[in-house]
Amino acid sequence: MDGFHPFRVLRARGLWIVNGAIAGTLALLFAVLYIGANVDPVGHLHKLPVGLVNADKGTTVDGRQVNLGAQATRSITTFTAGGDKIEWKVMDEKEMKEELGQGKLFGALVVPGDFTSSTVALTSTAADGKPVRPQLTVLTNQSAGSLGSSIARSAATGAAADVSRQVGRELTAQTAAEQTKLTAAARLLLADPAAVTVEEGHPLDPHSGFGLTAFYYALVLVVCGMLSANVISGQVDQVLGYAKNEMGPLRIDRPVIRATRVQTLAISSTLMVGLSLLMGSLVLTGAVGLMGMDASHLSLLWLYSVCAIAVVGIGALTLLAVFGTPGMLLVALIFIAMAVPTAGATTPIEALPGFYRFLAEFEPLRQITDGVRSILYYGAQGDAGLTRGWAMMAVGLALAALFGFGVTGWYDRKGLHRIPSGEGKPTRVAVPAA
């Protein structure tokens, strides 16, 4: 084979078929998962939570109590077009502020306390040219996600416009006898009386990326854990002598140190935990210290960052230890391809197709993002996603440990060692100095 030219391996059909199947599958899966999740968010929208507050105290008209806010609330919840795309949650102002401050609402529509009295008074003020329009307030919540907040704003604004026109029809009917005395402007005002204002329901600090810093910070944590697992796995194999170390043109061969698969995974996982302390510290330093990202609860954010990197890294190491080279493809699919579309950051979970909503229940990036969002935007409240983030990380770590050490232990018991008997003789040597 000395005369065999290396480029002749390109004639091997197996080389093209195997690599083509892997590369093509990855390309197709990434395209389907990414584009499929975002191609039609409004079409897939299902019960996006939006608050509906009626603070209207009502007033007495011709001896009877009238509450236009209550009428509007019933109308919105009963007859709103769009089916089940929006989940109107009727609540008081205190509950609404709490849920906006926990990311449980993407927006809200508020009917103020003087809505009925202002509307009734409009019939007289419109005629004298000094109208005071009743107000309806739409609250947005970018901290829960920019796209979800935009959809909620559109729904709430549309509902407010419907309420205004409905009230306008009643006012026009009540003043039918006086219509000839009113100016054209006054008649138009009575037909659509309410003024709609839009405000931020849960204001964010200026360096919060319009509510996206939590997602990008969480994504950095996941990528650090995933990529460092690949590096650590390779470096441990090189130190143990199971893989060759190439540094540019240099190739270093180390003597083999016999280690079971369980021992190798334990060594890699221990190294991952130690290096997570370094990576978590540097991520926090880079994001907050160097780039100026707004953040509070820095100690908690640091601890959460370290734990997230460690758990993701150990999960990735488990897949590499159990599946070998194909494990790298699984890592890319689980931690990136399926994770980014289901994180609930760019597209709300409620606007995803059913399959993606199912994935979002356990995909790691979504759980980590919710925890980071709670720390950055919601005062580290447990109900805002932090408790779930910690719990899901604990579950993920437990599953990774059980699966990883369980399967590699089975490999060891079956004699499926990394160097089969008769293929080389491993040498017992001390671990080389770094």
The mean-pLDDT minimum among 2-6, 74-78, 170-174 falls in 2-6
pLDDT 10s digits, 39-62:
888 888 999 999 999 999 988 777
Q: What is the pTM of this model?
A: 0.88
Give the tokens for residue 369: 């993002």
- Say which amino acid occupies 170: E
The mean-pLDDT minimum among 3-17, 79-93, 121-135 falls in 121-135
At 254 the pLDDT is 79
pLDDT 10s digits, 200-238:
999 999 999 999 999 999 999 999 999 999 999 999 998
Is the pLDDT confidence value at 243 over 50? yes
Give the tokens for residue 33: 């998962």
- Say which amino acid occupies 261: R
Distance CA 276, CA 172 (A): 68
pLDDT higher at 393 or 164: 393
At 265 the pLDDT is 96
Q: Give kind and range of the element (H or E) at residue 397.
A: helix 386-413
Distance CA 262, CA 429 (A): 19
Question: What distance lies between CA 146 and its chain's CA centroid?
Answer: 11
At 11 the pLDDT is 83
